[in-house]
Every structure is written in C-alpha cells, then in structure tokens.
Amino acid sequence: MEKGFGLCAHLEGTFALWLSALKYLAWVGQLGLSLVLPPVLALWCAGWLRERFGLGAWVFAAALVLGLLTSARCFLQFLKMVQKETKDERQ
C-alpha cells in the first residue's frame, strides 16, 4: 500500500513540474508578443496614415518611438509580475 502512495506522490511532483514548465513557457511567449507587436503595429499604422493622408516620413519615426516606448512599458510590467510571482512562490 505504501508503495502505491509513493508512486502517486511521484506523479503529483512530476505533474507540478510540468505545470511549472508550461507556465514559464507561456510567460516567454507573452513577453515575446508584448515586445514585438507594439512597434510592428505602430509602423503598420504609420504606413497606413502616410498612404491615406500623404504624411511625410516623420510619421514612421514617431510611430517607432511610440512602439518602442510601449514595448519598454510592457517589459517593465512583465518584470514586476515575475518578481511578484517568484516572491509569492518563496513564501
């Protein structure tokens, strides 16, 4: 009977390890999208604005700066979330 209990505990530990790995994988995916999408979308919108309204090339520079600032803010929020999660796991 004790042998079965040990196997069950081992499976629970393995399951918890897999869940933890999947959580970190999801975090990496979220971070990647949060860093890449804002500048790409801002540049796409700048191209649309330039084509639609005949604006100058300065629109691309402004969009790039706005996109990079948005990515930086997302990165800082991500770091705060990770720090909070690791702090909660240690307690």
What average pLDDT score do residues 69-77 get?
Answer: 97
Sign of CA dihedral 45, 50, 53, 56: positive
Q: Per-domain residue ranges for the chain?
A: 2-90
Task: Evaluate if residue 1 carries a pLDDT over 50.
Answer: no
Residue 81 makes CB contacts below 8 A (sequence gap 6+) with: none
Distance in angstroms (rounded) separating the CA atoms of residues 69 and 28 = 20
Question: What is the band of 86 on the pLDDT scale with cuts at 50, 70, 90?
Answer: confident
Task: Evaluate if residue 71 carries a pLDDT over 60.
Answer: yes
Q: Look up residue 17 and give its two tokens.
A: 């390890």
Distance in angstroms (rounded) separating the CA atoms of residues 12 and 74 = 34
Residue 83, pLDDT score: 93
The answer to whether 90 and 46 are in contact (CB under 8 A) is: no
Q: What is the pLDDT of residues 10-67, one digit of tens each?
A: 778 888 888 888 988 999 999 999 999 999 999 999 999 999 999 999 999 999 999 9
Residue 85, pLDDT score: 87
